[in-house]
Each structure stands twice: as C-alpha cells, then as structure tokens.
C-alpha cells in the first residue's frame, strides 16, 4: 500500500534553543534561507506524500503563513519582474495539502502523534519529527516507505549514536536481515547505559501502521512523565511487527544549538548562490582558530 499521509509534530517547547524559540517554533528556525520545517515538508513530498498534518502549539500562525500564498509579496515581485523568487514563493505555497491541529498540552511525542488519529484513519502513515532535518540524495522517508511497502511492517529510521546521546534518545534491539535493514524486537526510551540494547536509535523518521493509535491510547506516561511514542512502538516490536532501516542521508538536530550551526554551515557550503563565497570566508577564519 502506497503511503500518502504524513504528520509532522512541531508542538514541543524547544527549551534547548531558548530564547530563539520563545515566540517562534524551533521548527521555523532557518537553515540558510529556508525554515527547517520546509526541508521536512519537501522531503515528505519528494517521498510521494500528498497530505501532511502539522501538529503545532504556539506559533501556528507563522507556520501557516509560510506555507500559504503571500499575495502582497507575490504582487510586488511580479511588479519588479523578479520571476525567480516569485516562482519560489508560489512553489512553497503549493507544495502539498497541509493541515494543522493544535496539541493543547505538551504531553510528549506520543500524545502529539495521537492528535493525528482522525486525520490518518486506518492507513499507514509517516512521522517526520519537526526538528530533525535529513539531507541526502534519496529522501529518508522514501527509504522507509519502500520498506513498509515491501514487508508490510512499521519501520523506524535509525543510525548508530554514541552512548552519551543514546541515553537521551532510545535504544533498539535489532537483528540484521539485509543491507541497512533490521528486525526490531524491543526498544527502550532514554535508557541508562546499563539498559541499552544497541547503539541504534530512532532519528526522526518512522512509518507506522494505524494500529499504533489504539496502543498509544493504552500506553501509560513514561520517561519525563510524557506519553512516549517509543513505549507504544515497543509493543509493535515485541509483537514482531517492527523493522528498522539505516537511512542514507545526514541528519541534523535542529533542537540544539550546535545542531543548528552544523546544519547551516554544511548546507551553506553546498548552496548554489553563496556556497563558493562562504567557503572562501570559512577558509579565512579557520586560519585564525
């Protein structure tokens, strides 16, 4: 079955990037010249997704405005003959069918996903975490969708992470079954280092069967007193219904300051308008380090 729907949870508090994220959702922080969430929406669209639900709290208006037409700007660009930027803005407004819902209380990623129950219905769907930008030749969500379509099981996007990050993310019990492909039989959210299964962790992408909603509804609050998506996915894993794939792109964590800087530097170096100038500038300043 082709996956057509995706949800983007963007209702976290973003405390690690305050004060930048006080009035602006961290998902709207830019990487060079586009907000992080636009990279994520484009990844979804390039993976065959047509309908996207963005889960917001504050700053909903800013996200809606970004993916809508700005008639005033479009009129001005048309008048000035700036067709290139005009087309860029029009393309952004026409990327996909985008819907919005508010998560009224910040009760965790699992609770944010549960807000999408009506939107999703009984289809499989993709989840793209709003603060994880993945840059690569093949869209990460496409890689996950292909696994779902072939095996009919939920699938998480993984990479190995060092121990100090694993305790902040989650750890998966995996058996390799192919190139970059694993069966997952257990998982644990924010493990102590003595509890880890492996250094494979979920990094920002999953494709889930709609069965997850019934499980989430029965899942008690977990780590941090939040409803953890991992705790619900664990039920699927223990039931033999979960796989993992190591996606090929590079992931940037826009939820912390260093991640934001790395994303900006690396994307800027490849940018067709400023890449060369930026490289020259970087080479100059590294001499002084």
Residues that bind ligand UTP (CB under 6 A): 9-16, 55, 103, 106-109, 111-112, 129-131, 255
Report yes or no: 286 and 269 within 8 Å, Cβ to Cβ. Answer: no
Please report, to the nearest 10 degrees, the dihedral formed by the alpha carbons of residues 219, 223, 226, 229 taken in order.
-50
Closer residue to ligand UTP (CB): 8 or 155: 8
For the CB of residue 115, give the shortest distance to ligand UTP in the complex, in Å. 8
SS3 7: strand
SS3 247: coil
For the CB of residue 44, give the shortest distance to ligand UTP in the complex, in Å. 14
Q: Which residue is nearest to ligand UTP (CB)?
A: 12
For the CB of residue 85, give the shortest distance to ligand UTP in the complex, in Å. 28
Closer residue to ligand UTP (CB): 153 or 234: 234
Closer residue to ligand UTP (CB): 16 or 238: 16
Closer residue to ligand UTP (CB): 9 or 222: 9
Omega before 50 cis (within 30°)? no
Please report, to the nearest 10 degrees, the dihedral formed by the alpha carbons of residues 34, 204, 265, 160 taken in order.
-170
Ramachandran class of 48: left when φ > 0, alpha when ψ lies in -120 to 50, beta otherwise: left
For the CB of residue 261, give the shortest distance to ligand UTP in the complex, in Å. 16
Q: Which two tokens stand for residue 117?
A: 């129950």
For the CB of residue 136, give the shortest distance to ligand UTP in the complex, in Å. 19
Question: What is the C-alpha to C-alpha distance for residues 182 and 31, in angstroms, rounded to an integer?
Answer: 32
Quickly list DSSP for 129-172. Answer: -TTEEEESSS-HHHHHHHHHHHH-SEEEEEEE--HHHHTTSEEE
Helices (H) and strands (E) in the chain, counts: 12, 13
Closer residue to ligand UTP (CB): 11 or 144: 11
For the CB of residue 169, give the shortest distance to ligand UTP in the complex, in Å. 9
Q: Which two tokens stand for residue 231?
A: 């705790």
Closer residue to ligand UTP (CB): 36 or 147: 36
């Amino acid at each position: 079955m082709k996956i057509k729907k995706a949800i983007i949870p963007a209702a976290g508090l973003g405390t690690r990037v305050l004060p930048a994220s006080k009035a602006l959702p961290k998902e709207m922080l830019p990487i060079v010249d586009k907000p992080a969430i636009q990279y994520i929406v484009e990844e979804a669209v390039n993976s065959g997704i047509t309908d996207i639900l963005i889960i917001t709290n504050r700053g909903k208006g800013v996200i809606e405005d970004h993916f809508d037409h700005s008639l005033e700007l479009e009129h001005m660009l048309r008048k000035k003959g700036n067709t290139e930027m005009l087309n860029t803005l029009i393309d952004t407004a026409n990327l996909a069918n985008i819907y919005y819902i508010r998560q009224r209380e910040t009760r965790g990623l699992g609770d944010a996903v549960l807000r999408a129950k009506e939107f999703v219905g009984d289809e499989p769907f993709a989840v793209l975490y709003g603060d994880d930008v993945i840059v690569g030749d093949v869209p990460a969500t496409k890689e996950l969708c292909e696994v779902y379509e072939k095996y009919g099981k939920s699938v998480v996007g993984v990479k190995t992470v060092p121990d100090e990050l694993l305790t902040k993310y989650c750890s998966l019990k995996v058996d390799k079954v192919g190139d970059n492909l694993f069966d997952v039989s257990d998982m644990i959210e924010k493990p102590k280092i003595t509890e880890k299964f492996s250094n494979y962790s979920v990094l920002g992408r999953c494709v889930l069967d709609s069965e997850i909603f019934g499980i989430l509804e029965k899942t008690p609050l977990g780590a941090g007193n939040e409803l953890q998506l991992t705790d619900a996915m664990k039920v699927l894993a223990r039931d033999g219904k979960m796989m993992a794939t190591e996606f090929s792109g590079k992931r940037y964590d826009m939820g912390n300051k260093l991640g934001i800087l790395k994303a900006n530097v690396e994307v800027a170096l490849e940018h067709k308008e400023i890449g060369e100038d930026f490289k020259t500038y970087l080479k100059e300043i590294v001499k002084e380090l």
